[in-house]
Amino acid sequence: MNAQNIADFTAAVRRAAERFLPLARQGRLPVTLVHHNDADGMAAAAALAYALGRLDVDFRLQPVEKVHAPILEKIHAPGGDIVLYADLGGQSCHLIGGYATGNPLVFILDHHLPGGAVPGHVIHLNPELFGISGDTDASGAAVGACFARALAGGCSPPASGPSDLPALLGVLGAIGDGQMPAGALSGLNRMLLEAALAAGDLQASPGGFTIPRLGHRTAREVVDLLDLLGSVGFYAGHAATGVDFLLGKDAGEAQRVTEGLADLKASAFRREEETVRRQGLGGSRHFQWVDVKDRFKPMGVKAIGLFLEDLGARGLATADRYLIGFQHLPAEMPGLGRLDQALTKISARVPPALKAAIQQGGLPDFMTLIPGAAARVQGSADGCHRFAAAALIAQGREGDFLEALEQVLAQAR
């Protein structure tokens, strides 16, 4: 990746904004902003909400945990509006296009590895298409921030004006997505970091970057707060609380809610860890797994991924096998109503020792394994990274999925 890659990407962002602005200025077409419910997704949503608000565009937020056919059917059923996908949808652009025939324009603003052909009425803005890594150099919020800045009149640094909220939100998304492991950002993320520092929206300090407009909290504290609101509190509607918090609305409510959510998460994880200590994890030659079914209810299904990370941190997972978790998706989704299919969320993580083997080329990563196995059981994978991934499958197909994983791995080696 070099400066030309970023220049090409930001030029594409400006062209996409030019497609959006005439429709927005007509004031006749509402916008549905579909976003992921993790810290990166909420930061992306906040950046876009900020820009849409400045344009006086009528919009509604629709957080989702994953992309899958029954969910897309609900999102696109009304038709007639512009749909923005933020921090998800890139791996499912072909599927989205099939449900979006009644929408005049659909924008997918994502950083995950693209999948499938893009229909003509879908605009897919993805740094991966321009040689910029969505794993290390561009978060979902960075993509959303660039589009928001383009809507506000510019995408390339330096940012004009005394404040650059979208740039700040892009940085928070990158930190939330684990793209700052050594205390530094690169690529598109770094461009936004420099803009946020120059504008004073972010300040360097001995404890890490602090954010004056969010009560001088550190970036890490903000990300932890967002993860609780969006993952643990998803089915209570608290993804919206997270977006409001980032936009400077009712910080006291966000703090109050997260205290209760932290207790809920700790209690549920403690009970499940005790079960794992007694019974161990399920296992095959290359994989180990845990199925919590609906025992994490009322938490959102991102909880299973957080739980896998907890198992690894506590030494309860075998170091040389891929780690898989299953959690039932609740039948009722905020803003969309009841789904017509019983689904299981799959999360996948890589223990550190296995990560080294994958990086050396000896084993396939999750961008190969999870989409391939999900497709074999008629599921869908979206938002996959090399070492952390997720998918949705029908309940009852968990065993079939595990068999499919072994098959895909054998073929990929």
Residue 257 placed within a domain? no
User: pLDDT tens digits for 251-262?
Assistant: 888 989 999 999
Residue 159 placed within a domain? yes
Query: Do the bridges between strand 122-125 and strand 210-211 make them parallel or antiparallel, or are there none, so unpaired?
Result: unpaired
CATH number of the domain enclosing 107 = 3.90.1640.30
222/154 same-domain check: yes
Residue type, 204: A
14/120 same-domain check: yes
**What's the token pair of residue 391?**
């998918």
293/185 same-domain check: no
- Count of structural domains within the chain: 2
Q: In what helix (H) or strand (E) does residue 78 lie, and over which residues does it extend?
A: none
How far apart, in Å, are the Cα atoms of 186 and each of 46, 70, 113, 194, 356? 22, 37, 18, 11, 22
Residue 253 placed within a domain? no
Question: Looking at residue 292, what is its pLDDT?
Answer: 98
Residue 263 placed within a domain? no
Question: Looking at residue 119, what is its pLDDT?
Answer: 77
Structural domain boundaries enclosing 128: 3-230
**What's the token pair of residue 2?**
């070099």
Half-sphere exposure of 5 (CA within 13 A, CB side): 17
Q: Looking at 200, 230, 260, which one is the last position of a domain?
A: 230
Question: Looking at residue 341, what is its pLDDT?
Answer: 86
How far apart, in Å, are the Cα atoms of 40 and each of 179, 188, 318? 11, 14, 29
133/31 same-domain check: yes
Task: Pick the closest to residue 116 from 91, 88, 83, 89 (CA basis).
Answer: 91
User: pLDDT tens digits for 95-130?
Assistant: 899 999 999 899 999 999 888 778 788 999 999 999
Question: Looking at residue 155, what is its pLDDT?
Answer: 41
Query: Do the bridges between strand 287-291 and strand 106-109 make them parallel or antiparallel, or are there none, so unpaired?
Result: unpaired
- Angle, helices 165-176 vs 219-227, to 10°: value is 70
Query: How far apart are the C-alpha atoms of 126 and 61, rounded to whole Å?
Result: 21
Q: What is the CA radius of gyration of the chain?
A: 20
221/290 same-domain check: no
Residue 44 placed within a domain? yes
Question: Looking at residue 31, what is its pLDDT?
Answer: 93
Query: How far apart are the C-alpha atoms of 28 and 46, rounded to whole Å?
Result: 22
Residue 226 placed within a domain? yes
Query: How far apart are the C-alpha atoms of 294 and 192, rounded to whole Å?
Result: 40
How far apart, in Å, are the Cα atoms of 262 and each of 19, 95, 179, 201, 255? 42, 35, 24, 27, 11
Q: In what helix (H) or strand (E) does residue 384 lie, and over which residues does it extend?
A: none
Q: Is the sign of the CA dihedral 396, 399, 402, 404 positive or negative?
A: negative
Query: Residue 290 pairs with which residues in a beta bridge?
Result: 325
212/300 same-domain check: no
**What's the token pair of residue 58?**
């009528």
- For residue 175, the Cα-to-chain-centroid distance in whole angstroms is 12
User: pLDDT tens digits for 44-68?
Assistant: 999 999 999 988 888 999 999 988 8
- Angle, helices 140-151 vs 165-176, to 10°: value is 170
Determine contact, residues 94/112, Cβ cutoff 8 Å. Answer: no
Residue 105 DSSP label: -
175/56 same-domain check: yes
287/225 same-domain check: no
Task: Pick the closest to residue 54 from 126, 150, 118, 133 (CA basis).
Answer: 150
200/298 same-domain check: no
Query: How far apart are the C-alpha atoms of 146 and 125, rounded to whole Å?
Result: 10
Query: How far apart are the C-alpha atoms of 350 and 24, rounded to whole Å?
Result: 43
Q: Looking at 172, 195, 230, which one is the last position of a domain?
A: 230
Task: Pick the closest to residue 257 from 288, 226, 219 (CA basis).
Answer: 226
Question: Looking at residue 154, what is its pLDDT?
Answer: 43
Q: Looking at 206, 230, 254, which one is the last position of a domain?
A: 230
What value, to the nearest 5°, has the Cα angle with vertex 109 and ends 106 and 113?
A: 115
Give, for all 413 residues of the chain, the pLDDT tens digit: 678 999 999 999 999 999 998 877 766 678 999 999 999 999 999 999 999 998 888 899 999 998 888 899 999 988 889 999 999 999 888 889 999 999 989 999 999 988 877 878 899 999 999 999 999 999 999 999 999 999 987 444 444 455 799 999 999 999 999 999 878 899 999 999 999 999 999 999 887 899 999 999 999 999 999 999 999 999 999 999 999 999 999 788 898 999 999 999 999 999 999 999 999 999 999 999 999 999 999 999 999 999 999 999 999 999 999 999 999 999 999 999 998 889 999 999 998 888 888 988 889 999 999 999 999 999 999 878 899 999 999 999 999 999 999 999 999 87
217/299 same-domain check: no
- Angle, helices 165-176 vs 187-199, to 10°: value is 130
31/169 same-domain check: yes
Query: How far apart are the C-alpha atoms of 294 and 243, rounded to whole Å?
Result: 27
85/188 same-domain check: yes
Residue 338 placed within a domain? yes
Task: Pick the closest to residue 130 from 64, 172, 177, 187 (CA basis).
Answer: 187
Q: Is 162 exposed, middle or buried (0-12, 13-18, 19+ CB in 10 A)?
A: exposed
CATH number of the domain enclosing 310 = 3.10.310.40
Residue 319 DSSP label: T
Question: Looking at residue 1, what is its pLDDT?
Answer: 60
Which three-class secondary structure state does DSSP give residue 347? strand
- Please give the model's pTM, rounded to 2 decimal places: 0.92
Residue 33 placed within a domain? yes
